[in-house]
Every structure is written in C-alpha cells, then in structure tokens.
Chains A and B, each alone.
Chain A
Amino acid sequence: MSLLWGLLWGLAAVMLIAGGAIIGVWWERKVAGRVQMRYGPQQIGPAGSLQMIADVPKLLFKEDIVPEGADEPLFRYAPLAVFAPAAMSLAVVPFAAGWAPFDSTVGALFFLAVPSISVIGILLSAWASHNTFAALGGLRAAAQMVSYEVPRSLSVLSVIVLAGTLRPTDVMAAWEWWWIPLTFVGFLVFLISSIAEMNRGPFDIPEAESELVAGYFADYSGIRWAVFMMGEYGALIATSLFGAAFFFGGHRLLPGVGGIVAMVVVACAIITVVMWVKWTFPRLRADQLMAFCWKVLTPVALVQLLVAGVVAAWL
C-alpha cells in the first residue's frame, strides 16, 4: 500500500514540477523581458502564456543525440539523477497543518541532504559527455555545490533550533510570527546558497554560457536537455516552497485553505526574486564564488545560528 502511495506521490511531484517548469519558464521570460525593457513572449496565447506548450513538443521531437565517444548509458540516464533529487525534496514540504506528502521525523535533514545527490548526476553527465567544456563545468559544479551545502544547512538549522524538531510539520506547528525578523538574515543566506546550489545566475558558473557554453550539459539536446531544465526548475520550486514554509511560516500565515494559498504566493514571490537577481547581476568567477561562500555566507550563517540558539535557550 505504501509503495503504491509513494508511486502516486512521485507521479504527482513530477507533474507538479513539469507544470511548474512550464509556467516558470514563461514567467522567467516575462521577468527577463521586464528587466530588459522588452516584452518577452507575447505571440502564442494570451501574453505568450502558451509558448511553452508549443516548446515542449518541439523538445520531444528533437533528435536525441549521443555524441561520439560518450559513455552512452551514463550519458542517457545522468539527467534523471539531476531531476530525481529535486522531485524527491518536494516530498517533505509541509503544505498544510500537520500534513506533508512524506511526514518524516528527519524531514528537514532529508530536504537538505537529498538535493546534493544531484551533484552526482552533474558529474556523471560531465564525465559521460567526453568533452573538455563539460568536464570543466562538472568539476566546477562539484566544488560549488558541495561548498554551498554548508551555509545552506546552517541557515535552516537556525529555524530548527528555534522549533526544537526536525519534523517539518512540527516546525510549522511551533512557528511564531516573530521568527520572520529573527531569521531573516538566515533566509537571505538560505536563498543565496540555494541559488548557488541550483546553479542559477549569478552563480551559474558550471554552465557559464560565455565561457563553457553550457558546461556539463553542453552536449545534451531535446528532451534530455529539458530534463536538466526541469531539474533546475524543480529545485527552484522545492526551495521556494520550503523557504516560504520555514522562514515565512508558510500555511500558518492564513487559517484554513488560505494558508496553502499564502504559502504558494510567498513561494512565487521568492521565485520571482530569484529570477530578478539572475537577470540583474553579472556572473561571479569560480574562485570569487568560493571565497564568498567561505568568507561571507558561512560566518553570517553561523552568527544567525548563534542568535537563534541564544533566543531558543532564553525562552
């Protein structure tokens, strides 16, 4: 029974991410257009909203190219190893009071640990592509994603310290409104390190199009490339929902069904900020990125954790 349940939820998560990616790509193009004094898509459907519906069949019908010299099985299945962790991390998001698809006692730890599996998928794709650009991108991704795990985990830890539990639904039950100002710095650290974790601009160094063209997925085409993009948007959706829950109270903001709406609205706002940042800033260099992680984000996250710890002990 639980296996069937798990399969159903897996399917629901994939559908959610696929739908979210379709809306997300459209929204991102609209945000980018607004930032850049242009319109973005506007021809297909109202305000270009059906553009992605047209793009998905295009991606499906494209030739599935495996480059010569590539390690074929690894090359074919590496995108799944990037996509699956993003879908899995959605499972522990506390959507409503006392309810998460997979309500684990170590849900917060699960959320922090599982997305880092995607670095294995990235390394596999980089290695399997048999391409110098992909190899460089893969190595950059490995260094970056492993490093940014640290401030990301520390920032979430400050909320966990306040709540005194790792179970996301219990964290939501313990949540108080004044945690928002108290953990806001932690939220910023969480947001920045999540952007780096997702390889999005301005931290998209592993796939830097002006240097490495597309880095680890330079050789991918068609639907396998789309799976990489879905992984990226899936991570974005999971991160924003989780951030909205832990740092902004999620469904506790409004009573009843309004709570879920409030959580989705906050998550959409976070997604929009992430897109806005991407289209505003230039890209950091790999060494500057690491320096920023270890010299700025990690100490700030530690201070935030200390503050949260002192407050939690004092209460």
Chain B
Amino acid sequence: MISCSWYPTKLLLLNDDIKIRVSSSCNKYSFCHFSKFKKENIRPDGRELGEFRATLLNVGTINTAHGSALVKLGNTTILCGVKGEFAAPPVNEPKKGYLVPNVELPPLCSSQFKVGPPSEQAQVVSQLIDDIVRSSNLINLESLNIAEGVVLSGGESVYFFCVGTGVAPGFACCWGATKLPERGPKALSKLSWVLHCDMICLDYDGNIVDASLIALLAALKNVLLPAVRIDEDTGRAVTSQEGSIPLKLSCQPVATSFVVFDDTILLADPTKEEEGLATGAVTVVVNEEGDICSVHKPGKEGALYLPRKFMTASGDVSRDLRKLDSWLRKHWRVVKDDVPTGAYDLD
C-alpha cells in the first residue's frame, strides 16, 4: 500500500538503512559467500530471489527545477531534476520540442567513478534511458512546441532569428521575424521547450536503470512549466515566473532489472555486489498495458536462457511476470495519478 507522509521541510533523504543479515567469516563479495545463500534460496540482505528492495519516492523537493523527484531503491539513490528552456525547434521537425535525458554517475556516488567526463557506464545508461523515452513514446514531443511559425506562400516555413552569442542577463529575445511579411500574421516566432532531465546518482548500490526511470517518470509528472505567449507586436516570447502547465505523458514505462547468477538463478533488483558477481543481466521495460517497450541485455552470458525466460509464455515465466506485476503495480500507482509534492513510502 502507498502510505503518504508529509515532510514539509526536512525531507530529502529518508535514509532507512536496510539491515544486512550477514555474519559470515567469508569475504562478503566472494562467489563462495553467495553460493551459501543460493542453497537456501535467500539473498545476503535477507531478500527472496524475486524480491525488490524497499522503495522511497520523494517528489518536488527541488524548487529551482521545474519538476523533480528523488528515488531510493534500497541504498541506491537517484535524484532527477527537470529544467525547461527555450530553443528553436529541430529544422526537420518544426512542430516538435526536445526531451534530453542524461544520467550522471559522479565520483560522489561510488569510489569506482572518477572525476571527469561521464564514465562508459553513465553513457550506456543515458543512452538506454533515451531509447526507452523514444521507443515508448513517453511524451508527445509536439506538446512541447510553443510557437510553430507560419507557412508563407511557396510552402516554405520561414523563420529568422538572431541569437546573441553570449547569454547574459537582460539578453533580449530575438526569436521572431526580422522582416515582417506584408500580408498575413505578423509574428513568425518559432519556439519550443527543451526539457533537460538530469538524473544524478547520489548513492550507487546497483540497479540504477530502474531507479533512474522511476525518478524520471515521477519528475516529469511533477513538471509545471510557465505559460508562454508570443507578443504579437514584437514577436517576443513572454513568460510568467510561476509554473502552471503540467505535462501530458502518454504512458508509464517501468523498468525491471534482473541478473543471472550461476546461469540458473534469476535475481531481481540486484545490489552492486550481486551485479558484480552475476554472469548476465537483463532489463525489461514494460508499460502499463503490459507491452514490452524495451529489452536490454548486455553481454553474451545467458543469451539463450534469458530470452526464453522472458519472451515465451511458459509457466515459469508467467510466475516471474506475476511477481514483476505486483512490483509494477506498486510503482504505477505512484507514477500514474497526479503526484503531489511529498514523500512516499512504497512498501
């Protein structure tokens, strides 16, 4: 059940430590250590094989962003902030806007990441999230268009804009026409929203794809963009300070990650140690209708095993999917309806 509790000020990190029930002389990260647990069908942190970690969601905590959400999946913590900016729409698709997701794995979140440009893993996860956003049609990019421009005679869509090279405060808007046509509408502005969705990992303990996607979805649900109108005389965009317009999301994709251990055992929601020891991994993204939006399976291990497990409708799979279903339902319930600002405990 979702219990909604309100934390008006002291809110961001609700650190409910998961107690690790390990008292073993064996090295915690070693394979033999895991093998011991394997016999008992239980994992070192006390979870069952298909069990997910406790999830906490905290929506709308960052006031400087247009929308934000913090997700804790066990220890793994992802903070997503969405910031809207103006830009000219893409030349080939003048009716669209942009959604730019990026996942950051800073050296803050784990000792395995170094200062500097994004690590390979961060690039892979960013690309995966971008693919999911595109393939699931998460958001209709046409709804991010503000002013489309006007088609002049000759069927050519014309727009002129002079853009200052430096972006300084007080920079006047020059989107719009430099030369007004003699007939027809005066304004020729072309303007779209760019939604920069930046997901920062604050604590890296495995399974960041799932956490990132939940954070992204919850943050997008939380977005309120300011209203924009184009001044007809000047062609200049005018906005208000406060956000008022929510986004319309067309679906709710939720990712679920598994790792394969010992080629036969499937572990849901792996921790960092489990990810390190596993022989294969797979991420399945499902929308609320149960359609698969994306499957990501890096590496060759378990290449035969996993597709069989996920793609066919054998009894074994349906059992797994049923487990997955209850997890998805839990998350959909949160990300589905309007999510007011506040903290949520999903368990």
A and B: interacting chains: no
Chain B: residues with CB nearer than 8 A to chain A? none
